[in-house]
Chain A
Amino acid sequence: NAGVTQTPKFRILKIGQSMTLQCTQDMNHNYMYWYRQDPGMGLKLIYYSVGAGITDKGEVPNGYNVSRSTTEDFPLRLELAAPSQTSVYFCASSYGGSRYNEQFFGPGTRLTVL
């Protein structure tokens, strides 16, 4: 049971480039989330999904897109990278529809936009 896995671990992008951050979970969780963590700050929610085919915006969605075609995968797309998107990105998942359940986090992707 690998839990939540993320690729790549590190990436450097030039301004205007695009990329997809991959996230996969093998716990059959139907809820999945993308967060960004800026230095000295807490996590901010970018997008989340309550199941395959259903996504919704979080607190800071601008500049990002997501899709959820399967239960396991929840990729995050950056279309036109900007320096403000330099951050550490965490994917997370949780079980079921209960808001009481804790989230399980991946190891993160450190992204630098130059």
Chain B
Amino acid sequence: AQSVAQPEDQVNVAEGNPLTVKCTYSVSGNPYLFWYVQYPNRGLQFLLKYITGDNLVKGSYGFEAEFNKSQTSFHLKKPSALVSDSALYFCAVRDGNAGNMLTFGGGTRLMVKP
């Protein structure tokens, strides 16, 4: 069965500092990995995805994520955090052998302080 873990419930970072939100996954086939962001009282918005190819994926709002097959990780990063990046971030995985199901992690709350 596919699964996703986001080990940190909350990440605190100062504005202008780099940020990392961690994600690890478990699948039996090839992983298709996604990051979504959720602002208060809103639905999830797509940030970026890894399907194949370069391990460093660039997405919306200056975010990027690094796929590491040996560590089964897909950490979300940004070189310089903004206060407006404060939100709830979800990592999700779809197993290449498991049809249409997308499995989400529990979410990580990012707090960027001025």
Residues of A within 8 A of B (CB): 4, 31, 33, 40-45, 48, 50, 56, 58-59, 90, 92, 99-100, 102-108
21 residue pairs bridging A and B, Cβ less than 8 Å apart: A4-B43, A40-B9, A41-B106, A42-B105, A42-B106, A42-B107, A43-B90, A90-B44, A92-B44, A99-B32, A99-B94, A99-B99, A100-B51, A102-B34, A103-B46, A103-B102, A105-B36, A105-B43, A106-B43, A107-B41, A108-B43
Contact yes or no, A105 B49, CB < 8 A: no
Q: Tell me if A99 and B100 are in contact (CB < 8 A).
A: yes
B residues in contact with A48, CB < 8 Å: 100
Find chain B residues with CB under 8 A from A102 CB.
34, 46, 49
Q: Beyond A102-B46, A103-B46, A104-B46, is A40–B106 a contact (Cβ under 8 Å)?
A: yes
When chains A and B are docked, how far (Å) is the Cα of A107 from the Cα of B46? 13
Question: Whose C-beta in chain A lies nearest to the C-beta of B4?
Answer: A42
| Interface size band for B | 20 to 34
In contact, B101 and A59 (Cβ under 8 angstroms): yes
> Do A42 and B90 touch (CB < 8 A)?
yes
Q: Are B43 and A42 in contact (CB under 8 A)?
A: no
Residue of B nearest to A104 (CB): B46
